[in-house]
Copies of this chain bind each other. A is one copy, B any other.
Amino acid sequence: MPKKVDHAARREEIVQAALRLCARDGLAGVTIGQVAEEAGVSKGLVQHYFAGKADLLRASAQILRAEIERHVREAVRGARGPADTLRCVLIAIVELGVTAVVPLLAGHAFVSMAVADPEIRALYRAGGDAVHREIAALVAASGAAPNVDAGAEAHALLGLARGLADGVLLGELGVDDAVAIVDHHLRRILPEVATGSDTPSSRRVSE
């Protein structure tokens, strides 16, 4: 057998280049040639690792999901209790607007691509449902007021976080504003939530 190479790692390298390109030049700027150049490899190599452009895009959408999930999971590390975890998750989503612009921006592009590609659409649905379930579980475990339905509240919080992330992304409001809004809402549905900058989990984002 010839050279041993980490197949998955090479694929990820190329995909990262594609995502970078997507965030910089938009989805239209993502071509096999440009991706190869951005990744510092040859056009042929991209072909070697991906069956075609569609395959590359699918893999990109998948890795993009994983990237965002990694960001969020990293943010909840050190959170104490379900309420704090919930807060960290929401704030992490909001902060994607500045800390993970590339995945977020690429995500928008892929939403518009999910229209034509059932496979990508399915990926989004599955991912979105999973997130919703987790948030709903956190809401339920946080000891929310009895008059709030966990599922509905999860939709609301997730929607709020996503919308705020877009607002931050477009520069309509600052991260701290968005965080304050999230806290404000959490304070309304949860008995008690660690808020403000006194908790170790609310690290300040360098803007």
Residues of A within 8 A of B (CB): 22-29, 105-106, 108-109, 111-117, 124-125, 128-129, 132, 152, 155-156, 158-164, 166-167, 170-173, 177-178, 180-181, 184-185, 188
For the complex formed, measure the closest distance between the CB of A54 and the CB atoms of chain B, giving whole angstroms. 11
B155 near A159: Cβ-Cβ < 8 Å:
no
How many of these chains are in the complex?
A: 2
A5 to chain B, nearest CB (A): 31
Check A156/B129 contact, CB under 8 A, given A163-B162, A188-B188. Answer: no
The answer to whether B125 and A25 touch across the interface, beta carbons within 8 angstroms, is no
Q: How far is the CA of A125 from the CA of B170 in the complex (A)?
A: 7
Chain B residues within 8 Å of A25, by CB: 115-116
CA gap between A54 and B74 in the complex, in Å? 40
Interchain CB contact under 8 A, A159 and B158: no
- Given that A26-B112, A108-B111, A115-B26 are known contacts, is A159 also in contact with B170, CB under 8 Å in the complex? no
| Neighbouring B residues of A161 by C-beta, 8 Å | 159, 163
A109 to B106, CA, bound (A): 11
Residue of B111, B162, B177 near A162 (CB, 8 A) is B162
Q: Are B170 and A155 in contact (CB under 8 A)?
A: no
Complex interface: chain B residues within 8 A of A181 (CB): 152, 155-156, 159
Residues on B with C-beta less than 8 A from A105 are 112, 115
